[in-house]
Amino acid sequence: MRHHTHFSSILITLLFSAFCWPSAMSQVYIPTIDEVGPSVMPDTIAPIVAPFDMPQLQRPTFPDYRLPITKMGAKEGRFVRQQIQAAIDATAERGGGTVVIPKGNWHTGRIELRSNVCLHVEDGANVYFSGEIKDYLPVVFTRSAGIEAMSMGAMIYANGQRNIGLTGTGHLIGPGRDCELWHRNPEYGSFDSRVNYDLPPTERIYDGHDTTCIYLPTFIGPINCQNVLIEGVDLSQCVFWNIVPTYCDSVIIRGTKVHSVGLPMGDGMDIESCRNVLMEYNFLETGDDNFTIKAGRGIDGLRVNRPSENLVIRRNLTAIGHGGVTCGSETAGMIRDVYVCDNVFAGTNVGFRFKTRRPRGGGGENLYYERNRIRASKEAISFDMLGSAMYVGGLSARVPMEVDRFTPTFRNVIIRDLIVEDGSWFLRVAGIPESPARNVTIERVKARTQRLMQLHDLNMLTLRDAELEADEDVIDVSQVRNLYFENVSFKVPDGKIDWQIVPGENENLFVDGKSISPVF
């Protein structure tokens, strides 16, 4: 039975005016929608400032040699995979340079980048990618949804290359979902249960032979690469995730546009077990998460055990998407040292999403969010750690279980200088009973949402210097320890907060130094 109390010492600011700053935020500037995204991207890359050690990433440079694909016999309107690949290979063999896809309509299958080569897609170029399996053979080493195998790879692929680029303002167009590739989809929600983990990845062959499934190709997917630049290109009609560097070091992704609204699993960017990554001035409108950070899944992710770390996401603009920035749900190798700053998330379902599952392992730590603006249809901030029975069965139950190597955790999350213009909830935490979300600090916030907070399985939340406006007055607290509200004002219809607190389950709940734990 829940305990309901109106805690009258939390004074409601009845004269709360629309989006005036808390005094602690008066000197902080948060970008608006016209100050982020590709349209305002500068030519130069500004110094990278982060709350952890991060190298100053530089664009890779390429020899002063340019080879248009037409010089290799490519003709507009034809299938030109062979000519594009021949141009890339020839340029690499002479020491590097730039391969140019000129204005026009071109059709291709998988393209493989080579060291010291930049593929430049000129303005007015439309590159159409095939939806047939044969155009992505032979199989190559890949990781899909956190599990390694030999399959389709990516539409633009590279493995073990250094100093590679994909630039230009041309348009890359996938085949959409009514194609052979999509119809061999392995049902990613549960496909890990059908993988033979006793086989090494190079013997897990998913080539579509005899109508077997394939790992769907990502759109742009370098793997095991170093010094990668992806800049300016426009992507649409993917069959799967869009920009997906995996096991890469020193990656710059800037000024790109991704359009996948209405396409399930159409993530904008998925960073898979990479380090030293800068994402800036991009625009994403997607059928799934916008920016996603991953580190492997379950058994295979723990075997590889490679984190995603040293990531900076700044000055980006998102529209539709499931999550503005999502950590997880594949988290086996850990996600750490992520800095999300000066972005506008306009119209996502969730703003900041911390997502994992009991069988995924790992988790996230040292995650920093500063000077962001959110307009969401669901939660502004969400910790979704249990998942649903549809995908993980009884592991989604909110009952304590034994901690093992598959038990993930999120800890050390700092969110400050935040504007929430709309949302169904300000904060919703669904932690894992035996592994609650830990050490979360949210400060200097101005938010307007329909509901306030639902806090389940959480240890150490500090909320300070915040002004929260909501249509409902409930804060739901269950299995929470060490909750501290400092200088938090609310604007709710009845002028008081309805604390719904489960008796006997919570410890150390304080508002401005006064205990709000129920007394019996």
pLDDT along the chain (520 residues), means of 10: 41 34 72 98 98 97 98 97 98 98 98 98 98 98 96 98 98 96 87 88 94 94 98 98 98 98 96 98 98 97 98 98 97 98 98 96 98 98 94 92 96 98 98 98 98 98 98 97 97 94 91 80
Provide the token pair at 462.
Answer: 């500090």
CA neighbor of 380 nearest in space, from 439, 447, 476, 294: 447
Placement of tokens 């300070």 in the chain = 464
* Rounded distance between C-alpha atoms, residue 80 and residue 96, angstroms: 21
The structure's pTM equals: 0.95
CB 80 within 8 Å of CB 69:
yes
Secondary structure (3-state) at 169: coil
CB 219 within 8 Å of CB 154:
yes
- Tell me whether strands 474-491 and 451-470 are parallel, antiparallel or unpaired: parallel
DSSP H/E element including 404:
none
> Which amino acid belongs to residue 493?
P
* Rounded distance between C-alpha atoms, residue 89 and residue 227, angstroms: 19
* Rounded distance between C-alpha atoms, residue 502 and residue 513, angstroms: 21
The residue extents of the domains of the chain are: 51-226
CB 182 within 8 Å of CB 152:
no
Measured CA to CA in angstroms, residue 298 lies from 294, 354, 360, 433 at distances of 12, 17, 4, 19
Residues 6+ apart with CB under 8 A from 197: 299, 300, 303
* Rounded distance between C-alpha atoms, residue 495 and residue 243, angstroms: 47
Provide the token pair at 200.
Answer: 């090494």
Q: HEC string of 179-226? A: CHHHHCCCCCCCHHHHCCCCCCHHHCECECHHHCCECCCEEEEEECCE
CB 454 within 8 Å of CB 425:
yes
* Rounded distance between C-alpha atoms, residue 66 and residue 72, angstroms: 12
For residue 210, give the DSSP letter. Answer: G
For 99-111, the DSSP string reads: EEE-SEEEEES-E
Measured CA to CA in angstroms, residue 432 lies from 79, 337, 350, 386 at distances of 51, 22, 20, 6
> Which amino acid belongs to residue 121?
V
* Rounded distance between C-alpha atoms, residue 37 and residue 34, angstroms: 8
Q: Which residues, in sequence order, are bridge partners of residue 323? A: 350
Domain 51-226: CATH superfamily, name plus number? Single-stranded right-handed beta-helix, Pectin lyase-like (2.160.20.10)
Can you give the length of the chain in residues? 520
Q: HEC string of 455-486? A: EEEEEEEEEEEEEEEECCCEEEEEEEEEEEEE
pLDDT in the model for residue 204: 95
pLDDT in the model for residue 16: 30
Residues 6+ apart with CB under 8 A from 91: 65, 67, 97, 98, 99, 114, 117
CA neighbor of 467 nearest in space, from 434, 498, 443: 443
* Rounded distance between C-alpha atoms, residue 20 and residue 10, angstroms: 19
* R_g of the chain, CA atoms, integer Å: 24
pLDDT in the model for residue 211: 82
- Could you give phi then psi for residue 431, rounded to 5 degrees? -80, 180
Helix segments in 383-512, DSSP class H: 389-392
pLDDT in the model for residue 14: 25
Q: Residue 161: how many CB atoms within 10 A of its CB?
A: 22
pLDDT in the model for residue 503: 84
* Rounded distance between C-alpha atoms, residue 17 and residue 14, angstroms: 9
Provide the token pair at 496.
Answer: 């008081």
